[in-house]
Amino acid sequence: MLKSLKRQNHKLSSPEGQIEVLDDAESINIPSFEDKMADIGFSQFKPTGIEIFQVNVGKMCNQVCAHCHVDAGPDRKEIMTKETMQQCLDAIEGTDIKIVDLTGGAPEMNPHFRWFVEELRAIGKDVIVRCNLTIILANPKYNDLPEFFKKHKVNVVSSLPYFTAKRTDAQRGDGVFDKSIKALQMLNAVGYGKEGTDLKLDLVYNPAGAFLPGDQETLTAQFKRKLLEYDIEFNDLFAITNLPVSRFLEYLVKTEKYEDYMHELVNAFNPAAAAGVMCRNTLSVSWDGYLYDCDFNQMLELKVNAPSHISEFDLKALSNREIILNQHCYGCTAGAGSSCGGATT
């Protein structure tokens, strides 16, 4: 299995190393993202409100995906403590924030994961879990996850970059496709993704290389048709663009595709997508309780322009903060736009 960039002591494992590459817009002859946004009237970019509270409960994962922006893997030990989870619960209880989106790593590997889900449901929050599918089969202790998700009506969102083993395994590791198919069948078996149930199973598609995702609707139709060959059903498919952060940035640099990819993102800049990016309605919390505009800013350690730890949660200040922009943001504004919920236009 691959090692994380951090374990390799790779230059691009550090936020500073990544920002150094991203900030050098001049040598690849692209405009700064901030200037581009100012050109369309967003000289100050602010949230429209906070609707989604995304919590990264840790970087530990049973997979080492080639494109992972978290640089997650079995060798990552950063895990959110129960105390920080309690601070999250205290911060959002009684607020209008309705959705809590749990991500990682493999969030289920956090020993307090199930407790956290139960507590979130108890205070009336809708819960999304970004499940990598293979975790369900990784150890017998995870085999009942479909039942657990069902019991708490968790919205399961799972990555499946393609409907063939070749492309999926190239991105997510050998054997991942077959295990993912099995896990999807297990989720279907308890009612997930099935018509007539309120158990929502969504898939995430992201390109298995340095190109933008195509039309989300067309891809959904193809995935539905192809996965039916395995008797698999799902609800929606979210087409997500790979952002030049962490391992995907390292891939772009290593294969000398970085410049072309950035140009492709810039050329596909879509003002309508820019207006609807996820940082306008999302707040991202890191494993150690710091607050960010999105999961990508979190990986680059660009903390919010407001009191920036969950222990000093200030909803009013956060709702009026100025969002921090950088060159990687071109990934969310290209084409039909990209967010954790797929296309934004």
* Amino acid, single-letter form, for residue 25: A
**For other proteins, the closer CB: 160 or 340:** 160
> Is 205 one of the binding residues for other proteins (CB under 8 A)?
yes
**For other proteins, the closer CB: 70 or 181:** 181
Q: What's the rounded Cα separation, in Å, for the pair 118 and 170?
A: 35
**What single-letter DSSP state applies at residue 309?**
B
**For other proteins, the closer CB: 257 or 309:** 257
Q: Which positions from 129 to 168 touch other proteins by CB under 8 A, shown as an x/- string? A: ---------------------------------xxx-xx-
CB of 326 to other proteins, least distance (A): 25
> Is 95 one of the binding residues for other proteins (CB under 8 A)?
no
- Contact indicator for 301, 15 with CB cutoff of 8 Å: yes
Task: Select the residue interacting with other proteins from 120, 219, 285, 325 (CB under 8 A).
Answer: 219
Q: What's the rounded Cα separation, in Å, for the pair 295 and 70?
A: 8
Tokens of 210: 């340095």
**For other proteins, the closer CB: 154 or 237:** 237
Contacts with other proteins by CB under 8 A: the residue count is 17
- Contact indicator for 300, 331 with CB cutoff of 8 Å: no
Pair type for strands 201-205 and 291-292: unpaired
> Is 29 one of the binding residues for other proteins (CB under 8 A)?
no
In the region spanning residues 261 to 280, those forming contacts with other proteins, defined by CB under 8 A, are none
> Is 80 one of the binding residues for other proteins (CB under 8 A)?
no
**Cβ of 240: how many Cβ atoms within 10 Å?**
22
- Contact indicator for 176, 160 with CB cutoff of 8 Å: no
Sole window of 65-73, 81-89, 108-116, 211-219 interacting with other proteins (rule: CB under 8 A):
211-219
Number of alpha carbons in the 13 Å side-chain half-sphere of residue 247: 21
- Contact indicator for 159, 206 with CB cutoff of 8 Å: yes
**For other proteins, the closer CB: 87 or 206:** 206
Q: What's the rounded Cα separation, in Å, for the pair 96 and 50?
A: 8
DSSP three-state, residue 31: coil
CB of 223 to other proteins, least distance (A): 8
CB of 218 to other proteins, least distance (A): 6
> Is 77 one of the binding residues for other proteins (CB under 8 A)?
no
- Contact indicator for 187, 146 with CB cutoff of 8 Å: yes
Q: What's the rounded Cα separation, in Å, for the pair 140 and 121?
A: 25
Which residues, other chains included, contact 214 with Cβ-Cβ below 8 Å and sequence gap of 6+? 239
Question: Cis omega before residue 105 (within 30°)?
Answer: yes
> Is 337 one of the binding residues for other proteins (CB under 8 A)?
no
State the virtual CA torsion across 191, 193, 195, 199 in degrees, nearest 10. Answer: 60
Task: Select the residue interacting with other proteins from 15, 17, 191, 214 (CB under 8 A).
Answer: 214
> Is 215 one of the binding residues for other proteins (CB under 8 A)?
yes
Task: Select the residue interacting with other proteins from 29, 95, 218, 320 (CB under 8 A).
Answer: 218
Sole window of 60-68, 83-91, 125-133, 213-221 interacting with other proteins (rule: CB under 8 A):
213-221
Sole window of 115-123, 193-201, 215-223, 250-258 interacting with other proteins (rule: CB under 8 A):
215-223
**For other proteins, the closer CB: 73 or 335:** 335
Applying CB under 8 A, the residues found at the interface with other proteins are: 162-164, 166-167, 205, 207, 209, 211-215, 218-219, 222-223
